Amino acid sequence: MGMQPMASIKPGVAEALTGSSSPGFGSFQETTVECLGTAPASKVELARCATDLIVAATGVDLSGLALYSARGGAAMVAASQHRCPEWEHLTVEPGDGVASRVLHLGGTVTLKNYALESGSSQHLIEVFAEREGAYGMLAVPIQQSGAVIGILYGGVRRPEYIGDRGRTGLHNVANLFAGTLPSAAAEPCSHPGAASDQVSSGTHLTPLGCDLSDRERSILRLLSQGLATKEVAAAEFLAVNTVRSYIQSALWKLGANSRLQAVAIAREVGLI
């Protein structure tokens, strides 16, 4: 649970990482003390340096670094200042959570209240919001050779957005990690059942709604029958807030702005 000692940051590094989009660092050895030895570092060692550096430089309460699989899921490689082992060893299924949004958008996702805004599965909400006691999240893509290969998380244990300095710092650390990680160590993501999809500039083209979970489809089907949120929750044996999270996730995956629009799209493409 974050018991490993944090790497010490060198003087001036925090200011450079959070104050400029071009801090001028070429390796983690230039930013931290005793983070890496002289031998070539493993993927896990590089990831741990990145998560340590995020906490030390930006002041976030916890951090994590996950790499994408070929199927579109993500697995945490390293974490710092976390409270529970589930965060350090988190696995995200394809189409779930903020990791899916970062992968599809190829850009940053920022949240003030993860539990209410992320559209994640209940398991992810339990880990980040309940066990870690975290609210705000900033997630930035790690890109290498034009492909999104991973995601860097920063979290705070209070309901607020992570500001510009944190955003700049996370982007710089993501670039530093990608530049240090050998290309062979990361596997760019492709979506299952879509061999023709090509990774280009972090964008993935997939059939609309193909990443909806069975639960999200079931909830949309109930909404199409005119049920209210509380009625859907009772029918699915879920908490009302959990149903709202599933609905928000479905809206995002379908590119809809409202529940009515989401239901209409789902019907049109044959999902419900």
| pLDDT per residue as tens digits for the range 257-268 | 788 888 988 888
Residue 149 contacts by C-beta under 8 Å, 6 or more apart in sequence?
67, 68, 142, 143, 178, 181, 186, 187, 188, 189
Q: How far is CA 220 from the centre of its chain?
A: 24
Residue 157 contacts by C-beta under 8 Å, 6 or more apart in sequence?
61, 62, 132, 133, 134, 135
* Cα 180–Cα 197–Cα 120 angle in degrees, nearest 5: 70
Other CB atoms within 10 Å distance of the CB of residue 247:
20
How confident is the model at residue 182, as a pLDDT? 72
Say if residue 71 is exposed, middle or buried (CB neighbours under 10 Å; 0-12, 13-18, 19+).
Answer: middle
The amino acid at 124 = L
- Give the pairing of strands 8-9 and 32-33: antiparallel
- Contact of 63 with 132, CB cutoff 8 Å: no
How confident is the model at residue 136, as a pLDDT? 96
- Contact of 134 with 157, CB cutoff 8 Å: yes
Domain residue extents for the chain: 8-185, 214-268
Residue whose C-alpha is closest to residue 177's, from 269, 47, 22: 47
Rounded to two decimals, the pTM is 0.66
How confident is the model at residue 198, as a pLDDT? 32
**In whole numbers, what is the pLDDT of the chain averaged over residues?**
81
Helix (H, G, I), strand (E, B) or coil at 137: strand
Paired strand residues for 137: 111, 155
Helix (H, G, I), strand (E, B) or coil at 258: coil
Paired tokens of 267:
């019907």
**What residue ranges of the chain have pLDDT lower than 70?**
1-7, 33-41, 183-211, 255
Say if residue 199 is exposed, middle or buried (CB neighbours under 10 Å; 0-12, 13-18, 19+).
Answer: middle
Q: Which CATH architecture has domain 8-185?
A: 2-Layer Sandwich (3.30)
Q: In the CATH hierarchy, which top-level class contains the domain 214-268?
A: mainly alpha
Within this chain, domains 8-185 and 214-268 share the same CATH topology = no
Q: How far apart are CA 260 and CA 257, in angstroms?
A: 9
